[in-house]
Amino acid sequence: MHTTFKHLVIDSQSQLYDLKRIKRIFIHYYLGFFVVIFFCSILTILSLVIGGWILWTMWNARYFNSKELWISFGISVLFFVICYVMAKMFLKEIIISDILGYIKHPQQYIISEGQIVKAEYIPGGGSSKGRMIVHGTFNDKGMFIEEFQPSLWSKYFTDKNEEQNLREDDDWYSEKGKRRPLPVPVWVLHNKSNIKYGTLIAIDKGIFHGKKVR
């Protein structure tokens, strides 16, 4: 999830392919993935060690009729499978990402002009856990989907209908008329051999109309 625009915003075309900037986007966007992979890996190893220890205990004591030990072993196996699958899924998302692909093989990628055309709020367990799902297009048939922190997105961008329906008691009424309505022009990174899917990689600083970029 994007929680800042600082790494996406560019002043000039020369910054578009800047590898350092793109690496910062990669680290920032996938930081949560790395945290999940780390803890899932730790739990996977612990589950394996505990399960192995239980089996060794039963084998060493020739005590195979203990219901409690078999239940404990089953729980450790369940935790092992769940944590292993989760770590593998999150790792796969990182491996197949366009940004990592560009960092490894920049000659296989290109950046095209696109636009964000739709944003929808997906509520979570609390106001701070929601997500703003952003949909965009590039070229003729290309598309991309990104996640933003709702408060970050709503500070700078809005839908025309939402803007018109704002009332004085709404949270964002003070920003009425100050935010950029959709669509928003952007740049999208995608593989040269895959023109259907891409990743948001840059937004012109001029879009923010002098506002301080968070």
Domain boundaries, the chain: 107-208
The pair of structure tokens assigned to 76 is: 């450790």
- Distance between terminal CA atoms of the chain? 14
pLDDT digit string (tens) for 20-78? 999 999 999 999 999 999 999 999 999 999 999 998 988 887 777 778 888 999 999 99
Range 151-164 average pLDDT: 82
- Reduced to 3 states (helix: H, G, I; strand: E, B; else coil), residue 140 is coil
Q: Give the pLDDT confidence score for residue 190 in this predicted structure.
A: 95
Query: Looking at residues 146-170, what average pLDDT do you find?
Result: 81
DSSP code string of 182-197: SPEEEEEEEETT--SB
The pLDDT, as a whole number, for residue 126 is 55
* 155-170 average pLDDT score: 76
Q: Which pLDDT band holds residue 128 (cuts at 50, 70, 90)? A: low
Helix count and strand count (H, E) for the chain: 5, 8
Second-level CATH architecture of 107-208 = Beta Barrel (2.40)
| Predicted pLDDT at 147 | 93
Helix (H) or strand (E) holding 56: helix 19-61
Q: Three-class SS of residue 79? A: helix
Q: To the nearest whole number, what is the mean pLDDT of the chain?
A: 89
**Residue environment code for 69-102, b if the CB has 16+ CB neighbours within 10 A, otherwise e:** beebbeebeebbeebbebbeebbeeeeebbbbbb
